Structure formats: C-alpha cells, structure tokens
Amino acid sequence: MRKEGKGLVVALGLVALMAAGCAKEEVVKKDEPVVPQQTVKQQEPAKPVEPAKVEPAKTEATQEGATAKASAANALETVYFDFDKSDLRQDARDALAKNAEALLKQLANDKVKIEGNCDERGSDEYNLALGDRRAKSAAKYLETLGVKADRITTISYGKEKPAVQGHDEAAWAKNRRDDFVIVK
C-alpha cells in the first residue's frame, strides 16, 4: 500500500518534471507582461523585503518609486532563471536594469553581493557551480550597465538556501534566482 503510494509520488514527480519542461515557455510568458517598465513606473509604494522575494511580480511593480536609500537597498530586485540555465531572460534583464540604476544613484557608495541559487531538483554539487554561474551572469550584466566590477562580489549557495519551501514548479521557479545584498 505504502509502496504503491510512493511509486505514485515518484511517477507524479516524473510527470511534473516533464510537464515543467513543457510548461517552461508558458511560465516565462506569463511573467513577461508584468515586467515592462511603463507598467512598473505607474505603480508606486515601497513594499517590505519579504514579499519581494516571494512574489516577483509585486516586487517588480514596487521598486521604482522607492526614494529612500534603505528602501532602494531593500528593493534590489531578485532575478529569476529557467531550470538548469544561467542565461538572463528578458524579465531578468529588466530587473537588472533597475538594480543597476539604483546602484548608480541611491546606492552609489555601496557594494553589492550577488547570491546565486538553484531549485531543489538538481545535484547539489553541480548546483553550486550553476548558482555561481547565475551570480556571475548577473554581475556581468550589471557591469555592462555601468556598475564597476570592484563593487560587485558573487557567491553561490547552490540549492542550500531556498527562498520558499515547496516541491512544485511554483516553488522551484522562485528558488532559481539571484538575490542582491548590499554589503558595507
């Protein structure tokens, strides 16, 4: 009985994984309409960090209006990735553009640490390298946007620091990310 249940879970996991592969495009596309900058600029108030990490859509909508430096630091946007990928999606580039602007204006005297993270599915050791690559691809993009390389450090946590618990694509999508932390 128990065994069968387990088998079912495994089978479902398999199906979920396959589905994830197919659904990926869809997920990305769903995210995209939220991203464009015009939409972002219309929506104002600063929100605390917590939802910023959990709810990418809301974060993206809130950041621009923040004026205080602290808010700017808090509102550096998390960047998200596809499974086993470290290249930057359009929504990631948009978020990085906003982060670069904050780092060049309100946070011009601060340094930033980019923390690369992965979802729980991959091998933990390989994911350390993947997280490293994710952090570095964001770092490179910030540099091309004018943030000096000596203000940026990177670290990978692989799948050791999930932002949200959960074992479905919704959770995984939120865990495949770069967090941006201001370091003094």
What is the H or E stretch that residue 152 is in? strand 152-158
- DSSP symbols for 121-147: TS-HHHHHHHHHHHHHHHHHHHHHTT-
- Which two tokens mark 144? 């091309």
Exactly one of 130, 138, 147, 152 binds other proteins (CB under 8 A); that residue is 130
The stretch among 25-33, 40-48, 67-75, 125-133 that binds other proteins (CB under 8 A) is: 125-133
Give dist(CA 112, CA 39) in Å, integer. 26
Beta carbons of 13 and 38 less than 8 angstroms apart: no
Binding residues among 71-90 for other proteins as defined by CB under 8 A: 84
CA distances from 184 to 44, 101, 181 (A): 27, 18, 10
Q: Give 62 or 137: the residue with its C-beta nearer to other proteins.
A: 137
- DSSP symbols for 153-184: EEEEEETSS-SS--SSHHHHHHHSEEEEEEE-
Q: Give 9 or 68: the residue with its C-beta nearer to other proteins.
A: 9
The stretch among 43-51, 53-61, 152-160, 170-178 that binds other proteins (CB under 8 A) is: 152-160
The stretch among 64-72, 101-109, 119-127, 170-178 that binds other proteins (CB under 8 A) is: 119-127
Beta carbons of 82 and 92 less than 8 angstroms apart: no
The contact mask relative to other proteins for 38-77 (x = CB under 8 A, - = no) is ----------------------------------------
The stretch among 38-46, 64-72, 90-98, 121-129 that binds other proteins (CB under 8 A) is: 121-129
Residues that bind other proteins (CB under 8 A): 2-3, 6-7, 10-11, 13-14, 17, 84, 121-126, 128-130, 132-133, 136, 154-157, 160
